[in-house]
Amino acid sequence: MSALAMVVLLVVAFGAFALAAGRRWLLLRTGRPAQRFDRLGDRVAAVWRYAFVQERMDYYQPAGIAHKLIFVGFVVLLLRTLVLWGRGFVPSFNLWVLAPWMPLGKLYEFMKDTVGLMVITGVSVFFYYRVIRPMKRTTLSLEGLLILGIIFTMMVADMAYDGAAFVLAERDTTLCGITGHEMVSADQCKAIATIVAPYGEAGHVGWSLFPSPAGSFFSMLFEGLSPTALIVLAHAGYWIHSSLVLLFLNLLPHSKHFHVITAIPNVFFRDLSPYGRLPLINATLPSAAPAEAPEASAEANGAPAENGAPAEKKPYSETLMELVGAAGESADPTALAIGIGRIEHFSWKAILDFYTCTECGRCSDNCPAHRTGKVLSPKHLTLDLRNHLYSREKEFIQASTGASAKPAAPAAASGASGAEGSAEAPAPEAAAASNGDLAPKTDGVAPIDLVSTIIHPDVLWGCTTCRACEEQCPVMISYVDKIVDMRRNLVLVKGEFPHELQKPFQGMEVNGNPWNLSRMDRAGWADGLEIRTFAENPATPVLFWVGCAASYDDRAKKIARATARLLKKAGVDFAILAEEENCTGDPARRAGNEFLFAMLAETNAAVLNGYKEQGGIRQIVTTCPHCFNTLKNEYPDFDAKFEVIHHTDYLLGLLAQKKLEPQKAVAGKVVYHDSCYLGRYNGIFDSPRDILRAIPGVELVEAEYWTRQRGLCCGAGGAQMFMEEQNQNRVNVKRTLQLIDAVAKPSRSSASSSASAHAAHAAHAGHSGNGGHGDVLGKQGTVASACPFCMTMLTDGLKSQNLEDSFATMDVAELLDQSCQEDVLAVPSGDLAGVDLSIAAAHVEAPGSSASASE
């Protein structure tokens, strides 16, 4: 070993890494502020779950296990690398407590060899999936193979070093002791003494399980080699391992493996606000008013003005109008950070997301748009943004370091009133930042718009905002907020959006619904049910928020009527808003029309708070997951804070309290479709299933793989309900066929897999539209959902395959309503033999205790 060589190696390697990582840090600092230092306990817990335990790696096996093996290996072998570097200066260095003859040293030696073998196993799995059986979601690159080769070589080199040293340690006395050996020179004896110094009397030849299974195996292989060969192998193993670790470190800032460094901070700094809450426009702006005008900032937030009277709070919609007006009057409208128009508009946390992308492709593999041939690929969206940022690194760093006021670093972002993703939602009026603050300080930066130049518009408009990409990402990268922010810039600043959205935008603005139907017809669904309104009974405790779909769509009206009947049967004191109810604004907001959303939200919030002040509306129940999410997670930003409950949670509570008792058999096989905004966004997966299990005669089945967190979107979210798809491969059809496959397969037979495949093929082809019992499709069933938009999309999917006569689509509430009615009703079913008619034990949950969004 050579101390000089080790010094040169460490200084050069760490110096090069410091330069590369330093530039990445400077580029990160150019990002705009974001507050991510709140709720430290939750952040640490998330790091443990997602960065160390790596829960989300379990979605893909055996790749998930392989990644965990490599990760554990790196953690354990970090100490080994430090020991080897130390031996470059002190040959006998063992970190003081890890000598091979010490108990702790023996234990660590066993752990080191064991995890080294585990790492080799993990590398072999990834090599198999990259070269022998490539996966479509991954991109085969020389970089990936190089990294795998480096890791594999590091492990083998360390084991070879141990093996050669063990043999030399056992022969040391014979070769260089008192008796000496004529074939070994004094220089070789000196080299042998240096190599065996850390091992003491621990050298041995032949395999042993403890303490060194791998090193002893290599010693057995090397037993017959000459001293010269052993010395060469020991030195080669030592220097190869010590050098490759540093080479690997220097590759990280320039490759996708940068996530080795950035994954833990990216998980730590993730947005802890509810998944369903999009930040207000001001949450993507720099900190509020300029220092030279503190009174302006105070007045904007309602603080007392000079005369002592509190200033009137400015509505969020008015603020947006001013900001959009300022952009329109600017010579370069896109330069103003309204949403995301340019790469410099992203926050430092978004840049950290770009750094952390592992290019694993899990996001795109589960994206409904990508799986149906749309141009959107969440993976490539992130990579395109990252590559664009990297290509302009020098430009941004020079602009940042040369500016008089440098952009705030992550640590300096705390305290910004408009901080992105802060735990305490900023008041809408806090968006009243001065117009001068809208433009990031990017003097010397070329004005390059992202959309059209870097990102094709169809990439953004293909997104259903279903969050499947975010659910799958093992390093907690966010996608929906970035896409919606880019939509915001297109709609508010450029006035660009798909022409199909013109009518929904106009309808929501004029009549409070995206179909532009008369407001006077909003309560028409309730004809004959004798349902009270809040205008007549303002102190009613429970509001049944019907939503636009259940108010106007003929099929969805049946969901509202079934829910209302159940509420009345249970004796719930509820009322509706009727003509006073407007669209919550979810389609407008997800489509980027933040101004329209703000107007609708402010109008609804005023109505809700008005009745709350009169002693009413202690709970809000709704059948629409989109309304549920918006009311629960986004309306608190508008001072409308209520207990919002989805109807499946509420009905399950009524079942638990015995206020509803399903008694009549609703016989048939039922597969449940998870709504994205109910499941992935708000963590409600079990309540609808528990209701179905409580209904006599229902045989609940699950779609293979595509269920619960992995359930495929119906295709309606993100305002897609009102847009035409970009190709003929429709998302709703793909989802419908997945569900039909589940109910078409015989669940209580020993049919072969080929017979199941035939059943699925027959379902896709629509060969049993007559509902005959002559083949497997005689086992007809029902697709259940808990969202009126999903209902529409799935019904259309059945019709497109000519299967509407063979399979039914029903809401969970409709099935429960059937079971609670006096007349015996049944879901279409071909064969009831073997169906369990017992009532499953319902999950007891009181009304209002809806499950929180999963971490």
Contact yes or no for 460/490 (Cβ under 8 A): yes
* Neighbour count for residue 606 (Cβ, 10 Å): 12
> Which pLDDT belongs to residue 282?
65
> Which pLDDT belongs to residue 188?
86
**619 Cβ neighbours under 8 A, 6+ residues apart:** 541, 542, 543, 642, 643, 644, 645, 847, 848
Whether the per-residue pLDDT at 775 is higher than 60: the answer is no
Q: Which residues pair with 496 in a beta bridge?
A: none
> Which pLDDT belongs to residue 641?
95
> Which pLDDT belongs to residue 400?
80
Q: What is the pTM of this model?
A: 0.84
522-654: which CATH number, 3.30.1300, 3.40.50, 2.70.98, 1.20.1070?
3.40.50
Least confident interval from 14-23, 237-246, 312-321: 312-321
Q: How much of the chain, in percent, has pLDDT values that exceed 70?
A: 82
> Which pLDDT belongs to residue 421?
39
pLDDT digits (tens, 9 = 90+) for 498-552: 999 999 999 999 999 999 999 999 999 999 999 999 999 999 999 999 999 999 9
Least confident interval from 167-181, 300-314, 692-706: 300-314
What mean pLDDT do residues 383-409 have? 78
Distance CA 148, CA 476 (A): 24
pLDDT digits (tens, 9 = 90+) for 708-728: 999 999 999 999 999 999 898
Q: In the chain, where does the domain assigned CATH 1.20.950 lie?
A: 3-31+40-263
**599 Cβ neighbours under 8 A, 6+ residues apart:** 317, 509, 585
- DSSP state, 703? -
Confidence of residue 294 (pLDDT cuts 50, 70, 90): very low
Nearest CA to 561 out of 850, 796, 828, 811 is that of: 811
Give, in order, the Cα–Cα distances in Å from 828 to each of 75, 187, 559.
56, 89, 18
Give, in order, the Cα–Cα distances in Å from 84 to each of 94, 193, 248.
8, 16, 16
Confidence of residue 747 (pLDDT cuts 50, 70, 90): low
Whether the per-residue pLDDT at 411 is higher than 60: the answer is no
pLDDT digits (tens, 9 = 90+) for 106-154: 999 999 999 999 999 999 999 998 888 888 887 778 888 999 999 999 9
- Dig out the tokens for 142 from the structure: 């020389």
Confidence of residue 823 (pLDDT cuts 50, 70, 90): low
Distance CA 735, CA 323 (A): 41
**495 Cβ neighbours under 8 A, 6+ residues apart:** none
Contact yes or no for 39/272 (Cβ under 8 A): yes
**396 Cβ neighbours under 8 A, 6+ residues apart:** 27, 30, 344, 389, 442, 445
What mean pLDDT do residues 833-855 have? 32
> Which pLDDT belongs to residue 564?
96
Mean pLDDT taken over the chain: 84
Whether the per-residue pLDDT at 753 is higher than 60: the answer is no
Contact yes or no for 271/107 (Cβ under 8 A): no
- Dig out the tokens for 519 from the structure: 């407001």
- List alpha helices for 208-345, DSSP H: 213-222, 227-251, 259-268, 294-300, 316-329
Confidence of residue 440 (pLDDT cuts 50, 70, 90): low
pLDDT digits (tens, 9 = 90+) for 607-621: 999 999 999 999 999
- Spell out the CATH class of 3-31+40-263: mainly alpha
Whether the per-residue pLDDT at 665 is higher than 60: the answer is yes
Contact yes or no for 834/674 (Cβ under 8 A): no
Nearest CA to 711 out of 691, 730, 683 is that of: 683
pLDDT digits (tens, 9 = 90+) for 442-492: 567 888 999 999 999 999 999 999 999 999 999 999 999 999 999 999 999
End-to-end CA distance of the chain: 49
Nearest CA to 721 out of 677, 784, 673, 670 is that of: 677
- Dig out the tokens for 146 from the structure: 């190089």
> Which pLDDT belongs to residue 328?
85
> Which pLDDT belongs to residue 532?
95
Q: Which residues pair with 574 in a beta bridge?
A: 542
Contact yes or no for 234/195 (Cβ under 8 A): yes
> Which pLDDT belongs to residue 765?
41
What mean pLDDT do residues 637-647 have? 96
What mean pLDDT do residues 771-780 have? 37
CA atoms within 13 A of residue 521's CA, in its CB half-sphere: 14
- List alpha helices for 426-474, DSSP H: 457-461, 468-472
Q: In the chain, where does the domain assigned CATH 3.40.50 lie?
A: 522-654
- Dig out the tokens for 325 from the structure: 């007006």
Whether the per-residue pLDDT at 679 is higher than 80: the answer is yes
- Dig out the tokens for 753 from the structure: 């897999």
Distance CA 195, CA 185 (A): 15
- Dig out the tokens for 276 from the structure: 């369903």
